[in-house]
Amino acid sequence: MDRIRIRGGTPLHGEIPIYGAKNSALKLMAAALLTDEPLILKNMPRLADTRFMAQLLAHLGVVSEEQNHNVLHLHGEHLEEPYAPYDLVRKMRATFNVLGPLVARTGRAKVSLPGGCAIGARPVDLHLKALEALGATVELDEGYVIASAPNGLTGAEIDFPMVSVGATEHAMLMAVLASGRTLLENCAREPEIADLADCLNAMGAKVSGAGTSTITIDGVPRLSGTTWSVVPDRIEAGTYAIAAAAAGGEVTLVKAAPAANRALWDALRRAGITIAIEGENVTVSRAPGTPIQPVDIQTAPWPGFATDLQAQFMALMALADGTSLIRETIFENRFMHAPELTRLGARIEVHGNEAVVRGPAAYRGAPVMATDLRASVSLVIAGLAGEGETLVNRVYHLDRGFEHLEEKLSRCGARIGREKE
């Protein structure tokens, strides 16, 4: 098993290219099930999660081929039995999104209930209710969802009782081949949802309103293939921005899609970090020794502060000159990084869905354990900003969402490397 060794205390200087968004790429890959023509995805991140999805799609009959560094060619001309077994779905939640496209295209599917990070319950009931609303029969049997719509899906009005990114995306993937009109209300508005809608439209779908709370979908009988470039990863961009703020120095994030991270830029500016936006690039700078100001944040659906940046921002706030309050409203049990940050010197008290962070702390290197994807990178940030040597164990979590992290940081002067335990 790999671990990452960090010798902290070095400011970061240089450029970091931002790759395609994991959270968009996985749903775009699932869209390959909706057509018998090739779907070519450019700006694809090469991650453990995208490899898992490719393995599942291959099991379902979709041929995948990597072309060059970041181009993925998917072709589901002849699908196999629409069955997604537990061993291929348990590794991450996004694999569950093959259910809707399979039913939409083949009329039936048997898909295992999903797995994923241990950051609290993320039930799929909204996904299943959307599928039922579109006319499918759905039953649960020994951990599997068995769905059937032999005469195809039919458009419906679906009003989500809560905002859910996954359910919004999954409903879109179901409804594009349904007969008639589907109206989705109380939708999530994340940039990745608009990216999926734009790709589906390039394939011949008729989706409007993505990026707002109401999405209208007029079903079409079939979709064609297309070539699509995945939107830049706002979480990767935000993570490196926070790393530069914590370690000090000046880093330019190339092709960072700055409009997708306005809540973060605002929070960093309030913390005293300099943010300069030029086109699609963002430069983050803090002179070493410049104090960091405490900032209270509350996670919220986009365009609010992203829950996937909460752990990283907590690592930064431990360095702030004062007390900050971090409130998590999206997922329960998403403060598992707090005890590990405390091992490095942070002073954090967790009360339910709130964490009180008292600074300024002086991070000092120690062995720590990653508990989930975003928690693991918060420990990297603390290690970069601290003194001494930090060992981050169980970094397979990190590989689910960050490509070439050590190389990107090393090119900016960080003393960081990967090794076998």
Q: pLDDT, tens digit, for every residue of 80-95?
A: 999 999 999 887 778 8
State the fold for domain 22-229.
UDP-n-acetylglucosamine1-carboxyvinyl-transferase; Chain (3.65.10)
Q: Residue 279 in contact with residue 248, Cβ under 8 Å? A: no
**Which tops the pLDDT comparison, 101 or 2?**
101
Higher pLDDT among residues 374 and 224, named by residue = 224
Q: 117 an active-site residue?
A: yes
Query: What single string gives the DSSP state of each residue in 50-100?
Result: HHHHHHHHHHTT-EEEEETTTEEEEE-SS---SEE-HHHHTT-GGGGGGHH
Is the pLDDT score of 390 beyond 70?
A: yes
**Percent of the chain whose pLDDT exceeds 70:** 98
* Percent of the chain that is helix, strand, coil (3-state, to 5): 35, 30, 35
Residue of 64, 109, 63 whose CA lies nearest to 89: 109
Active site residue: 117, 187, 199, 412, which one? Answer: 117
Q: What pLDDT does 129 receive?
A: 96
Which of helix, strand or coil describes residue 289?
coil
Q: Which of 37-41, 69-73, 134-138 has the lowest mean pLDDT?
A: 69-73
CB 25 within 8 A of CB 45: yes
Bridge partners of 420, per DSSP, are: 2
Annotated ligand binding at 22? The verdict is yes
Q: Where is average pLDDT lowest: 172-176, 197-201, 202-206, 371-375?
A: 371-375
Query: Is residue 132's pLDDT more than 80?
Result: yes
pLDDT tens column, 282-329: 999 999 889 999 999 999 999 999 999 999 999 999 999 999 999 999
Share above pLDDT 90 across residues of the chain, in percent, rounded to a whole number = 87
Binding residue per annotation — 124? Answer: yes
Grade residue 61 by pLDDT with cuts at 50, 70 and 90.
Answer: very high
Domain segments of the chain as ranges: 2-19+232-420, 22-229
The reply, when asked if residue 126 is annotated as ligand binding, is: yes
Tell me the pLDDT tens digit for each residue of 184-221: 999 999 999 999 999 999 999 999 999 999 999 999 99
pTM of the entire predicted model: 0.94
pLDDT reading at 101 higher than 80: yes
Mean pLDDT of the chain: 94
pLDDT in tens, 231-258: 999 999 999 999 999 999 999 999 999 9
What's the distance, Cα to Cα, between the start and end of the chain in Å?
6
Nearest to 211 by CA among 225, 197, 200, 223: 197
pLDDT for residue 64: 95
Tell me the C-alpha distance between 99 and 136, whole Å. 11
> Residue 120: is its pLDDT beyond 60?
no
pLDDT band with cut points at 50, 70 and 90 for residue 117: very low
Q: Is 330 annotated as a binding residue?
A: yes
Which band of pLDDT confidence, cut at 50, 70 and 90, is reported for residue 119? very low
Find out whether 308 is annotated in a ligand binding site: yes
Torsional sign, CA 197, 202, 203, 206: positive
What order do you get walking across the sheet with 63-67 strand by strand? 63-67, 71-75, 38-42, 226-229
Average pLDDT rounded to a whole number, residues 269-283: 98
Q: Which of 36, 35, 80, 45 is nearest to 66 (CA)?
A: 45
CATH class of 2-19+232-420: alpha beta
The domains spanning 2-19+232-420 and 22-229 adopt the same CATH topology: yes
Q: Please tell me the predicted confidence (pLDDT) of residue 115.
A: 61
Whether the CB-CB separation of 402 and 378 falls below 8 Å is answered with: no
Calculate the dihedral angle through the C-alpha atoms of 218, 122, 21, 405, rounding to the nearest 10 degrees.
Answer: -170
Contact 374, 312 (CB under 8 A): yes
In terms of DSSP bridges, do strands 38-42 and 63-67 run parallel, antiparallel, or are they unpaired? unpaired
Give 421's contacts (C-beta < 8 A, 6+ positions apart).
Answer: 1, 2, 3, 393
